[in-house]
Structure 1
Amino acid sequence: MIVSTNDGQFDQLIDDLSRLPTYTIGRATTNSIVVANGKISGQHARLIQCTPTCFIFEDLSSKNGSFVNEVRIARKVVDKQDTLRLADTTFDIDTLLALLKAEPVKAEKPVPPVSITPKLLSEVESNSLNFTEEFADLKQVYEQYPKLRKDCRNREKMIRTGSVILSSIVSISAVVSTGGAALPLLHVLSGAGLSVLIPTLCSTLLSTEEKLEVIDKEYRERYRCPNPACRDPFGTREWELLAQQKTCRRCQAIWVQ
């Protein structure tokens, strides 16, 4: 599908994307994720993918139960740091997703090693703490957070908000693959503030409380020092005040030149 900022298709696109990827888990071979264990029910649980890292984990009236961090649940918002247990078998989300029925992936050609000269090494070292671009992107995260929290209570208003945000991200046109699986576009949106949440917030699969929890989780995960070796959480600190600070006091990462 070709989507243009001038063709009025954004509302329909968001409506299509709000059909979130859903994976059933169980012993039966008809499930998206098959776990061969006699204590796991034929259709035991399901995962609803809200963002690349955040999910709804729901028990489907299984005999031996579903657990998150050793607490039995009926339905719960989870992320990749949580431990999931189906009956007597423990997983993390990455392990479960690795069991998805998938097409074989073609092997990529090996990339030749780069020769590191003294000059190149000096350039690498001088840029190793430069996170000015990544920090600038966090301004969108900070500004979109209260807006999305407010608008998620009204699905129609959320669709209009999403249309505005999406139209600012998609330039003249974009080729978007949907077909009921929003994951490819989720990755495209993930670099633009909290826009990755738009499909989830427009979905009818989540309650308002679950949507608010997903927003909070995604905000806390993203609004941090952009240095992967630091990741100091910013909490409620204003982006403008952090920009005036210019560097991270913990790791010395450069936020503003």
Structure 2
Amino acid sequence: MAEEKEEVVDKKAAKKEEKQRKKEEAKAKKTQRAEDSDELEEESGGSKVAVFFVSLLIIIVWLAIIALLIKWDVGGFGSGMLAPILKDVPYVNKILPDDAVEEVSTEDSAYAYDTMADAVERIKELEKELADAQNTSSANADYISQLEAQSAELQQYKENEAEFEKEKQSFYEDVVFSDVAPDVEEYKKYYESIDPANAEVLYKQVVAQTAEDEQLDDYIKTYSSMKPKEAAAIFDTMTDNLKLVAQILNGMDADSRAAILGKMSSDTAAKVTEIMKPSE
């Protein structure tokens, strides 16, 4: 009986020791896990710090590169786009190209006025310039109007002159050189009797017409005395002056004219006949 009790006591003691041992092992494992976790956290924290500083360094490098590109005005980026935006930002505007800063400053100074009196004076100057420009424009408009009026007068004069020439030509054809007109010699005597200064041009025309008539009479006599075949052969070669051929034939009698036309080529004879046809 005593042995059984001792055995029970020993078992209880063994269980207690086993339980205590397991408890200590669990505690040791927990402590080990805590230590491992702390180490991992320390390592992770160090890694994050390293990543942060590396990222910051990369950003700084890129900012430096961008600042240099702006300062050197590569592609006009600094002077064209950023200068109007950053020109008034302290310190930051130091990265702008020097030329861009000077240009912007010059543009600003052109419209900067220290006092209201300066601004008013500038307004008066601009108003005076505007008035001068308007006066000049008005003067130019008046000058253009005068030129247009003169052009209209000249155009009217030109039209009147053309009408006068037309009437003069009609007068010559219907009166001076018509079939019922006085003899040319009478016109010649008349023009010789009037003031030479007024009759000079007309006199020359009459003299020239008289000479032409005399020459035409010589042609008529010459070709009338020729054989029709010979005269026709010559007239066939005068295709560049068929008007003269028609005048010569008109001055001949009907028989001579018919004989010559009959010997001429049909084409030339037809053209000459068309010219000789009386106007309706």
Rg larger for? 2
Q: Which structure is richer in relative contact order (CA contacts within 8 A, separation 6 or more)?
A: 1
Q: TM-score, normalised by structure 1?
A: 0.22
More helix by share: 2
More strand by share: 1
